[in-house]
């Protein structure tokens, strides 16, 4: 197994243990690949959920650009909901897991078709 496969396994474990969700491994793999080299960088691989600028980046670069959603209060609510699901006290919130949860939240799996 390569490093990416190890990370995907780690993300799947987070989804199961921290979010109580049985992951769709095919979608999780595609979302992880979509994150690009960011998954290998300690800082870029996680989302700083307490920093408004970081959450704005998730909204603009992922929800609006990648998933093609229109800007609105529902995007901020979805991000808050996903962070709540992951656990606010959880120190490391992996970007791939957050993106996976947001993709599922909006039913945008077809983007990764």
Q: What is the pLDDT of residues 7-38, one digit of tens each?
A: 999 999 999 999 999 999 999 999 999 999 99
Backbone angles phi, psi at 49, to 5 degrees: -65, -15
Q: What is the pLDDT of residues 35-56, one digit of tens each?
A: 999 999 999 999 999 999 999 9
Task: Provide the number of structural domains found in the chain.
Answer: 1
Reading phi first (left if > 0) and then psi (alpha if -120 to 50, else beta), residue 68 is in left
For tokens 């209060």, name the residue.
73
Is 93 within 8 Å of 83 (Cβ atoms)? yes
Quickly state the pLDDT bin for 91 (edges 50, 70, 90): confident
Q: What is the pLDDT of residues 51-76, one digit of tens each?
A: 999 999 999 999 999 999 999 999 99
CATH of the domain at 69: 1.10.238.120
The total of other beta-carbon atoms located within 10 Å of residue 104's CB is 18
Q: Which domain holds residue 70?
A: 3-112
Is 60 within 8 Å of 84 (Cβ atoms)? no
State pTM to two decimals.
0.96
């Amino acid at each position: 197994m390569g490093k990416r496969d190890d990370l995907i396994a780690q993300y799947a474990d987070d989804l199961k243990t921290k979010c109580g969700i049985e992951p769709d491994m095919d979608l999780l793999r595609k979302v992880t690949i979509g994150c690009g080299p960011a998954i290998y960088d300690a800082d870029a691989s996680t989302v700083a959920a307490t920093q408004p600028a970081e959450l704005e980046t998730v909204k603009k670069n992922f929800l609006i650009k990648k998933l093609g959603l229109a800007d609105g209060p529902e995007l901020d609510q979805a991000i808050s909901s996903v962070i709540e699901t992951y656990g606010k006290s959880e120190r490391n919130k992996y970007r791939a897991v957050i993106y996976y949860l947001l993709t599922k939240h909006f039913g945008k799996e077809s983007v990764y078709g």
